[in-house]
Amino acid sequence: MQNKFINVFYQNRKVGWLAETPERLLAFEYDSEWLSDGFSISPFKLPLLKQVFIASRDPFDGSFGVFNDSLPDGWGRLLIDRMLVKKHIDPSGVSTLDRLAIVGSSGMGALEYKPEENFIKIKKDDSLTLQTLDKLAKEVEAILNDKYNGRKLEELVKLGGSSGGARPKVLINIDGEEWLIKFRASFDPKNIGEQEYAYMAAAKAAGIIVPETRLFESKYFGVKRFDRAKNKKSSMRKIFMISASALLDASHKLPTLDYNSLMSATIELTRDFREAEKMFRLMCFNVLTHNRDDHSKNFSFLYDDKRWQVSPAYDLVYSDGMSGEHATSIDGEGKNPNETHIMAVAKNAGIDQRKAKTIIEEVKNAANNLRKTLGV
C-alpha cells in the first residue's frame, strides 16, 4: 500500500498535488489553473506561488499543517488503525500520503484527496438514526475498554473515522444537515454532554458566535457542522477551514502558543479588527470559565466569499489542561492568568482598552451564570 502522489481538490476544482520525498516528507505544488484564480490554502506557509514546497519534519511529522488538519486524530485515528490491523496492515507502516488517501472526501473541512489508484477509503454512512445512539455508545465503550470484537468496526469507521479530537464521536445527517454527536470518553465526567451543552449556551450569552447545538436524549452533545452550508438549491457545500495549529505550525500536543501570537495572526489573516475582537472574547471566555484545553487545534478560520474570518467557537468545556495550565498562554501566563494579563493581550493587539473591559464584563456575567447552572 503505497501511493506515489495524490491530487488535492476543493469544491471539485484541483488545488494541486502531493507527493512524498525519499525522506518521507510531503511535497506540494499548486495546479497552474488554481494559481490563476484560486486562494492560498495556508497563507503563511503555502503562498500562491509556482514552486514545489517541501514540508519540515516538525511539528507534523513531515506533513504540512493544512493537510494534517484533514487527518483524524484521537478517536478517529484509533478507529482507522483498528481497521488497518483487521485488514492485516501494520498501521506504523502507513505513510501520511496513504492516510490522506484513506480520508478521501470524508475529512473535516473542505479539502478532498484523490489517489492515483483504488484505495481503502472511508465511505460516508447516512443510515444512522437518533434511535441508535445508546447502542453506538455501548460500542464506543467496548472499544475504549479493549473489549471490542470488531463486528461493527467498519460501520464505526464510516460514522466517525474522519473526525479529530480525543472524544468518541459520530457524524449524522439530520433533516439534510450534518451534525457531529459526541460520546463520553473514559476520562470524562458522567455529565460531560450536559456540561458542554451548558458551556456553549454560556458562550452564546457572552456574545461569542457558536454553531447550533442540541442535547440528544438529555446526555449526548451534538453540534451542527459549520464547515458545511446549504446552497440555494439545498445541496451541501463544503467551506474551507484551517486551524491555528496548521496556520502557525503550532503543535496542539504541546503548549507552544500564546494568545498574543494568535491575535496577531488573526489580524494579519483577516485584516479585520472585528475578527480580532472575536478571538479576544473567546480568550476571555476560556480564562473565566476554566477551559484550559485551549490548544492550537481548538481555534480555526474559515475562508468563504473571498474573505477570512474566525470560525464559530467549539470544544468549550471545563478543563484543567496539561499540568494545570492553559495550552495557550495569556501574555506569557498559563497557570494563573488574571485581568492584567488579559488586558495586556488586548493592548498588544491594538484593541481599545474600554472596549476590552466591556467585553470582559460581558463574559464575566455569562461565566457567573454558567457556574450557577452547573452548581460549581
Quick: pLDDT tens for 291-313.
999 999 999 999 998 999 999 99
DSSP state of 221: E
φ, ψ of residue 14 in degrees (nearest 5): -75, 125
Select, from the ranges 26-35, 152-161, 173-182, 216-225, the one with the highest average predicted confidence (pLDDT): 26-35
CB 289, CB 370: distance < 8 Å: yes
**Pairwise CA distance, residues 36 & 196, whole Å:** 43
User: Which one, of 284, 264, 259, lies nearest residue 339 by Cα?
Assistant: 284
φ, ψ of residue 343 in degrees (nearest 5): -65, -30
Confidence tier at 65 by pLDDT (50, 70, 90): very high
Instruction: Write out the residue limits of the CATH 3.30.200 domain(s) in the chain.
Output: 130-160+166-224
pTM for the whole thing? 0.93
Evaluate if residue 234 carries a pLDDT over 70: no
**Pairwise CA distance, residues 206 & 365, whole Å:** 8
Under DSSP, is residue 167 helix (H, G, I), strand (E, B) or coil?
coil
More confident residue, 152 or 260: 260
The residues near 335 (Cβ < 8 Å, ≥ 6 apart) are: 324, 325, 326
Under DSSP, is residue 111 helix (H, G, I), strand (E, B) or coil?
strand
List, for residues 145-199, the tens digit of each pLDDT value. Answer: 766 655 567 667 777 656 666 778 888 888 888 899 999 887 888 899 999 999 9
Evaluate if residue 256 carries a pLDDT over 90: no
So what's the pLDDT on residue 125?
55
Evaluate if residue 124 carries a pLDDT over 80: no
The residues near 89 (Cβ < 8 Å, ≥ 6 apart) are: 1
Count of alpha carbons within 13 Å of 221, Cβ hemisphere only? 24
- 3-state SS of 14-41 is EEEEEEECCCCCEEEEECHHHHHHCCCC
**Pairwise CA distance, residues 328 & 326, whole Å:** 5
What share of the chain has pLDDT > 70, as a percent?
A: 90
| CB burial of residue 351 (10 Å; 0-12, 13-18, 19+) | buried
Which residue, chain included where needed, has cell 494568535?
262
So what's the pLDDT on residue 187?
80
From residue 1, alpha-carbon distances to 24, 94, 104 in Å are: 15, 8, 15
So what's the pLDDT on residue 66?
98
CATH topology of domain 130-160+166-224: Phosphorylase Kinase; domain 1 (3.30.200)
**Pairwise CA distance, residues 26 & 5, whole Å:** 10
Name the H helices within 104-213.
Answer: 133-144, 153-160, 192-205
Which H/E stretch holds residue 100? helix 96-103
So what's the pLDDT on residue 160?
67
